[in-house]
Structure 1
Amino acid sequence: MKSAEANPSKRIDVAYNVTTTELNKLCAAEGAMVFFTAKHSHSYISHACTINIIKKCFPDSSTTKNITCDKTKAREIACNVLAPSLTRNVQMVPIVVQFFSKAGVKHGILEFIEQMHESADDLFANIKYVLEANELKLNQLVSLGSDNTNVNVGNHHSVFALFEKLLPGLIKGTCYCRVLHNSVKHGNEHLLFDIEAALLKIYSHFCRSSVHSQELTNYFDFIELFLNILD
């Protein structure tokens, strides 16, 4: 520490006796360039071109001369080296409320919360905390709606079951999107033709022909114009 304070201009790696090898310099340079590419949403092809330009602009630099970071290597560094240390999976839970007012029924997002553990107890505690923190009375809660998973609406130990213990008579709301999804999923099994094959054939018909694609675009434009006239 004394040597570093005595000579402020002294490099930190020298002051603390950190060995900086050519390989470390090369790895740091490649990592920094890939980080710059990812941060500014540049393509890996653009990254490879930038590396080639830098090598031509600084031919006297041994580090620059040895950089071999094409688009394939850049992607590997971004996905397998930088991403694990810079990102983390975060579960976010939106708390949405719907209520009666003098202007009618209103709804909106009350708060987004970060949910580390998706257990019934943790979800129940966090949702209850958000409601109370916003000065909403639990005894005025009429219904609780959520995704149709066992954690949320199971019969034994779920978020709804825990709220129902506090509020007997609470109405269980279901996710209409999930109901529709399950209806289509199970209804598809009883169709007399393969809907997936039909959709693939329709897609193939339009994607391989610019003429067909243009005809479809014109049709959509016509429908949109027709609907605007009706409105």
Structure 2
Amino acid sequence: MITSTQSLGLFIKERYSPISLKISAAEGTFAFHTVKHHHSFRTMDCTSNLLSVCFSDSDIAKNFHSARTKTEAIITGVLAPMSIEEVLSELQTGIAFSLSTDASNHAELKTFPIIIRYFNSSGVQNKLLDFVHLQDEKSKHVAEMLLDVITKYGLNPENMIAFCADNAPVNFGGINRAEGDNVFAKLKQIKSKLIPVGCPSHLVHKSAQIAGERALSVDIESIVAKISSFFSGEKSRVLQRHQRFIEFCDFLELHYLKFPNHGKTRWLTLFPLIERILKLWEALKSYFLSNEICPRMLETFFESNLSQCYFLFMHSSIKLFNTTSLILQRNNLSLPEMIRELRKLQQSLLDRYNGGFQELLLKWNLLKLTTLFKYTNSSPNV
């Protein structure tokens, strides 16, 4: 028997009440925060419960329910489509754009992020347009994939002014940008006036590497890589080497510094490693020349009277390349700015060459060696 009645409205939640909109906004904000800072979706399992505990006096926090599944749904079903829609609405106005892509391995698949770059009233924009999986990275399939993306999003090929990728032959056909079986050549079939943009940082590094190999009788990068690898690898062995090297640093009153790995993107680590080696030069030289298991390459190198001069010369020269490379890695760099920086690097190198420039420390070391050889009637041990 029903003894009392209540309004039906008490059992029905208002769908778009002010509080529900604030809760949805909070869940959307946390979803965006998760993507923005590259957090795992799993972190939201904890965050969702943590908010209600920490802010129990807040109606928004108490009703915040967005664990990994809901967070993923918000990102893929709301935020991603909205961001793509905003980009496409801008591009419909006829803005010129460039497409960029690069292959990464994911299990047996090749993954290709498609980045679109354009300029609006806020400056240079870099947007992730799509993420495509392919079985391989043959030029035919990559070109077809890019054309499919252009068609899928209704982009006008006539507004595409540049194709950006790394300098692999599959993308551009080698250093001469040759016509033929490469992605750039296939894209030019739909847009004849297309600008090829490779990785400028890699080109800058390669220029420094080749110049160093031709100017010096020693491959400095190989020495750097050998020193870096000597202090990395098997944990127990490396720990012993570090401990012994620390003893040399303490004896010479030098502050011990770890050596970062010399990675595949070598332009990111070459200059910092050269700089660190010079800071610890005396300790390294003493360590390797007194080490029974010293690699033959390093032993021969540190026995040379000119070894430090080689490093000082490379440090002085490669500093210019490194400064340029850091500028070229800026996210908002435009093509005219890139060309300007490369020309500045070229002019700086020419000015140094024509003026016979040498850094003071290098001059001082060469002067000491010249004096030593003069009074001892000896020749440099190269």
User: When the two structures are superposed, what TM-score results if normalisation uses the length of structure 2?
Assistant: 0.31
User: When the two structures are superposed, what TM-score results if normalisation uses the length of structure 1?
Assistant: 0.49
